[in-house]
Structure 1
Amino acid sequence: MGRGVGRRRSRVPQREGGYEVVSKRAAIGAAYWLHLAAAPTFAIMAMLTAVIGGGSMDALCSAAGASPLGGMVPMYLLMTAFHAAPWLKLIGSHARTSRKDWT
C-alpha cells in the first residue's frame, strides 16, 4: 500500500471547538427557524388562495361540490394546524418564564 492510501483525512476537524461544532450549531439554528417558518407560510398560502382564488388547481383538488372541505384553502389550513406545535411550545415557554417573574 502506498503512503496515505486508505488513510485520508477529512478537511473538517473531528474535535470539539473546530469547524464541525460551528457547522452543527449553524444547522441547529437554521432548523429552529425553519420549523417556525412552516405554520405562517401555510397560513399565508391559505389567505392568498382564498383571496386570489385557486383557479384550475381547485378544480383538480376537489370534485365539483363533493365536499365543503375540498380544495386548497382547507388543505393549507390543515397544514397550518399540523405545523403549529413549535409556535405553541414557544408561547408556552414564554408563558412559563413570565409566570415565574410574577411569583
Structure 2
Amino acid sequence: MPTTGGGYAGAPGVNAVSRGVADWLCLAAAPSFAFMALLTAFAGGADMICLAAQDASPFSGMTVMYVLMSVFHSAPWVRLIVSRRSGTARGL
C-alpha cells in the first residue's frame, strides 16, 4: 500500500509504534503547561519587567494563559484515568 509522504507503509508495526508514541506524547502537554504556569506565577514573567505592571497580580497575563492551555490539554489525562478505572485501557 503506497503512501503519499514516502512513509514506511510496508514496514510491519511502524503504524502501531507511531500511534503508541503519539498516545504518550499527547500526555506531555498538560503537565508542561502546568509547570510553565507555576514557573511564571512564582518567578515572574516577562510582563513583570514593564514598569506599568509593577502592581499587577502575578496571576495575570501569561500565567492565566498557561493555566488555560493546561486545562484545554487535559482531555488525554481524563481519558486515561477513565479507561484505567473502567479497565478498558487502550494500550497506554
When the two structures are superposed, what TM-score results if normalisation uses the length of structure 2?
0.68
**Which structure has more RCO (C-alpha within 8 Å, separation ≥ 6)?**
2
1:56 Cα offset (Å): 3.9
Is structure 2 residue 70 aligned with structure 1 residue 83? Answer: no
Q: Which runs of 5+ in 1 are unaligned?
A: 1-9, 98-103
Distance 2:27 2:36 in 1: 15
Bigger CA radius of gyration = 1
Is structure 2 residue 52 aligned with structure 1 residue 46? Answer: no
Counterpart of 1:3?
Answer: none
| Partner SS, residue 45 of structure 2 | coil
- Mapping 1:6-85, distance limit 5 Å: 12=8, 14=10, 19=11, 21-56=12-47, 70-85=60-75
Q: Which runs of 5+ in 2 are unaligned?
A: 1-5, 88-92
Percent of pairs identical after alignment?
Answer: 47
Counterpart of 1:100?
Answer: none
1:12 Cα offset (Å): 4.7
Q: Work out the number of aligned pairs and report it.
A: 80
CA gap of 1:38–1:57, structure 2 versus 1, over 3 A, is farther
Q: How large is the Cα RMSD of the aligned pairs? A: 3.0
Deviations along 1:64-84, one digit per CA (max 9) or x if unpaired, are: 589997400000000011001
